[in-house]
């Protein structure tokens, strides 16, 4: 997940909270270092001023163990800045806002979204899987055939692109009867056979798979 | 009403205003003394333009607390201007270890320092401001 997507997700959350609590004048999320993560874009100058004021306190707050929360209660409205995980959430509200309700909403929604986003960012990326190709079998026979299957150079190139330029050395072949086998792979060396959607497989492998010539098999590359 | 009576009236008004302020100040000091004795209350700083009353359990922290409380009130005023919050009623700054309730009382600035578990709402109420 990119920074932009992260910010968009948080901004959407803030907008939704504002929809639920129309008494919110402005809301934004910023890091401990004072970098704005998400907020009302139309009020960016206002936010910068607020951050400056907040940073002034933060620099001197060691005496009370840093800043956990700051509330400013005025005759016309309130401002609440509270720590949420590794960030701060700021909300400015109108005078008669139900601050307890607001705190309940923000205190549940924002930490949940932050945790969710953090989990998404740190989640292991699923293993890449290139889509299998359906190729027609051609048998390779002879003493020196070796154990490698052969496919079009074009197909190998596409798979290679999928794996960010890595060379594809191994494929998995699945027969129509469900049997599978892994073997080495290389490009077809005969121009006349190129572009025909063929996979040339050594005879021994075909026997193992119980597949005959001209049958169609599924072939997929194995992550290099 | 003659022009000579006006200054006398004004003088009387000023005197009575001073008396009221003195009474208020006396009551505030009494309230603070009572609050300071409560469990979890670390102390307070009450500043006017020409004097300050400081009562903190740990005198080594006076400067840190004085600077922090003053900064918190100033930042509160800045935030109030920025977000049009009106006249500041109070600023509450909560840390991991302690919290500060700062407010303006007439021309004085009061900051009360307490542990996080102490109810600042009750303290605010008991100040009778």
Cα separation of A80 and A155, whole Å? 59
Measured between CB atoms, does B129 come within 8 Å of chain A?
Answer: no
B58–chain A Cβ distance below 8 A for any pair: no
Show the beta-strand stretches assigned E in B1-129. 41-47, 52-56, 88-94, 98-105, 108-115
Q: What is the reported pLDDT for A74?
A: 94
CB contact under 8 A, A60 and B68: yes
Contact criterion met (CB < 8 Å) for A64 and B95: yes
Is B75–A54 a contact, with Cβ atoms under 8 angstroms apart? yes
pLDDT score, position A149: 92
Q: Are A47 and A26 in contact (CB under 8 A)?
A: yes
pTM above 0.90, yes or no: no
Measured in angstroms, the CA of B18 and the nearest CA of chain A are apart by 26
Number of domains forming the structure of chain B: 1
Other beta carbons within 10 Å of A183: 18
Phi, psi values for residue A7, rounded to 5°: -65, -40
Q: Do A56 and B91 touch (CB under 8 A)?
A: no
Own/partner contacts of A116-124, CB < 8 Å, gap of 24 or more, are: A117/A1, A117/A6, A117/A9, A117/A10, A118/A85, A120/A1, A121/A1, A121/A6
**A56, B75: Cβ pair inside 8 Å?**
yes
> Cβ-count burial of B99 within 10 angstroms (0-12 exposed, 13-18 middle, 19+ buried)?
buried
ipTM score: 0.84
Q: What pLDDT, on the 0 to 100 scale, is given for residue A7?
A: 79
Of B79, B89, B113, the CB nearest to A50: B79
Range of the domain at B59: 5-126
**pLDDT at res. B41:** 96
List, for residues B13-63, the tens digit of each pLDDT value: 877 777 777 777 788 889 999 999 999 999 999 998 888 899 998 888 899
Q: Chain A, 20-79: which have a CB under 8 Å from a chain B CB?
A: 25-26, 46, 49-50, 52-54, 56-57, 60-79
A160: its two tokens: 């290679």
The pLDDT value given to residue A120: 74
For chain A, domains (ranges, CATH) are: 3-122 (3.30.450.30), 133-221 (2.40.40.20)
Does pLDDT of B91 surpass 90?
Answer: yes
- Residue B77: per-residue pLDDT: 92
- Which residues, 6+ apart, have CB-to-CB distance to B111 below 8 Å? B44, B45, B65, B69, B70, B72, B73, B100, B101, B102
CB distance B71–A49 less than 8 Å?
no
**pLDDT, averaged in runs of 10, over chain A (224 residues):** 72 84 88 82 74 88 92 94 88 88 82 79 56 88 82 89 85 90 89 87 90 91 79
Assess whether pLDDT exceeds 70 at residue B5: no
Domain of B102: which CATH number?
3.30.450.30
pLDDT at B122 (0 to 100): 94
Nearest-neighbour CA in chain A from B126: distance (Å): 18
B64 reaches A (C-beta below 8 A): yes
User: In whole numbers, what is the pLDDT of chain B averaged over residues?
Assistant: 88
Residues of B in contact with A25 (CB under 8 A): 83-84
Given this model, what pLDDT does residue A1 score? 55
Average pLDDT in the B80-105 region? 93
**CA pair distance B85, A13, nearest whole angstrom:** 24
Q: By 3-state DSSP, what share of chain B in percent is helix, strand and coil, each rounded to 5?
A: 50, 25, 25
A37 and A30 in contact (C-beta within 8 Å)? yes
pLDDT value of residue A128? 54
């Amino acid at each position: 997940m990119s920074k932009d997507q992260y910010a968009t997700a948080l901004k959407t959350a803030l907008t939704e909270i504002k929809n639920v609590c129309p008494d919110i004048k402005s809301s934004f999320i910023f890091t401990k270092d004072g970098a704005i993560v998400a907020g009302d874009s139309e009020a960016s100058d206002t936010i910068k001023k607020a951050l400056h004021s907040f940073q002034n306190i933060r620099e001197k707050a060691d005496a009370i163990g840093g800043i956990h929360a700051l509330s400013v209660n005025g005759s016309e409205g309130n401002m609440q800045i509270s720590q949420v995980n590794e960030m701060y959430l700021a909300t400015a509200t109108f005078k008669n806002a139900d601050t307890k309700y607001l705190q309940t909403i923000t205190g549940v929604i924002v930490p949940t979204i932050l945790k969710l986003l953090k989990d998404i960012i740190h989640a292991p990326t699923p293993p890449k899987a290139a889509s299998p190709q359906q190729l027609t079998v051609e048998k390779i026979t002879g003493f020196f055939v070796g154990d490698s299957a052969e496919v079009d150079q074009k197909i190998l190139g596409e798979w290679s692109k999928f794996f960010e330029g890595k060379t594809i050395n191994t494929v998995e072949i699945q027969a129509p009867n469900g049997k599978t086998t892994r073997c080495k792979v290389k490009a077809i060396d005969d121009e006349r056979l190129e572009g025909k959607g063929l996979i040339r497989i050594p005879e021994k492998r075909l026997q193992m798979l119980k597949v005959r010539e001209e049958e169609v098999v599924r072939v997929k590359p194995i992550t290099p | 009403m003659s022009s000579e009576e006006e200054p006398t009236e004004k003088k009387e008004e000023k005197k009575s205003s001073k008396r009221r302020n003195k009474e208020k100040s006396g009551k505030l000091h009494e309230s603070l003394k009572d609050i300071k004795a409560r469990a979890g209350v670390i102390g307070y700083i009450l500043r006017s333009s020409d004097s300050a009353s400081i009562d903190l359990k740990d005198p080594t922290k006076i400067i840190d607390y004085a600077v922090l409380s003053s900064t918190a009130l100033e930042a509160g005023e800045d935030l109030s201007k920025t977000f049009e919050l009106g006249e500041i009623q109070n600023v509450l700054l909560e840390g991991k270890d302690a919290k500060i309730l700062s407010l303006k009382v007439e021309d004085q600035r009061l900051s009360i320092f307490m542990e996080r578990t102490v109810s600042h709402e009750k303290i605010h109420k008991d100040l009778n401001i």
